[in-house]
Amino acid sequence: MEMKDRVVVITGGSGGIGQAMARAFLAEGAKQIVLADLHEDAVQAAANDIGCIGIACDVTSESDIESVVEQTIAREGRIDLFCSNAGAGGAGLLTDATNEVWQNQWELHVMSHLYAARAVLPSMIARGEGYLLNTASAAGLLAAMGSGPYTVTKAAAVKLAEFLAITHGDDGIGVSVLCPQGVNTAMAPKSLGDGQTDGIIEPEQLAQTVVECIREGRFHVLPHPEVEDYVRRKGDDVDRWLIGMRRLKRNSQA
């Protein structure tokens, strides 16, 4: 999909990745960008700065997602690309992460994508065209040590994107899943370490990778290209991969 003249919704739009994608899409000639985010003041400020529309939205509320879709279609006539991008960290392991943390991560990283797909797919399928970009993480393809809720829910986000691509690819719907490692945002500052990233990239670099992958219709959007090799090695020998991850965990705690 080319971005020229497209109508795009981006959740998590007031943050670094969301804003960077909005600017990149506008630079490619997008017709309209709608930013959706939890805090109205922040999303309106971002929208005013970029020159687009801002709507307050709790992505863990299906009715809020439906409202964003309905408002956008009423205003613009259609949605060409829905970027389900909102997310947050969730630290802890099995024993120290509370049930509330697990549930919140599930609602934010899985159900929000499901709500978006439910809301926007009917109109896309009726037109025979549309695109979904779901933000997951390299942790969803591999693992993030010390963050069980984040890793597990991001893996579920990847699987949901796969399911959507399989189920609706023949309906004219493109699907991509964004799986970065560290990005220089409030969620992953430059101090991120312990060997779990191949470098902290800027949101603008990530956004250019998103544009290229959507143009080419590629499922995995990997701003850190090394991740593709890691996923291949994991698939070749998962037992060896697990041994290597345990070694990395020990080294990070040394």
Rounded-to-integer distance, Cα 15 and Cα 20, Å: 8
pTM of the model: 0.92
Band the pLDDT of 137: cuts 50, 70, 90: very high
Name the nearest CA neighbour of 109 among 68, 156, 56: 156
Distances (CA, A) of 92 to 17, 105, 145, 196: 24, 12, 9, 16
Residue ranges covered by each domain of the chain: 7-226
Report the pLDDT value the prediction gives residue 195, as an integer from 0 to 100: 44
Band the pLDDT of 89: cuts 50, 70, 90: confident
Report the pLDDT value the prediction gives residue 252, as an integer from 0 to 100: 72
Give the mean model confidence (pLDDT) for residues 25-45: 97
Report the pLDDT value the prediction gives residue 18, as an integer from 0 to 100: 94
Q: What percent of the chain has pLDDT over 70?
A: 94
Q: Report pLDDT digits (tens) over 197-223.
A: 678 889 999 999 999 999 999 999 999
CATH of the domain spanning 7-226, picked from 1.10.150.170, 3.20.20.100, 3.40.50.970, 3.40.50.720: 3.40.50.720
Band the pLDDT of 228: cuts 50, 70, 90: very high
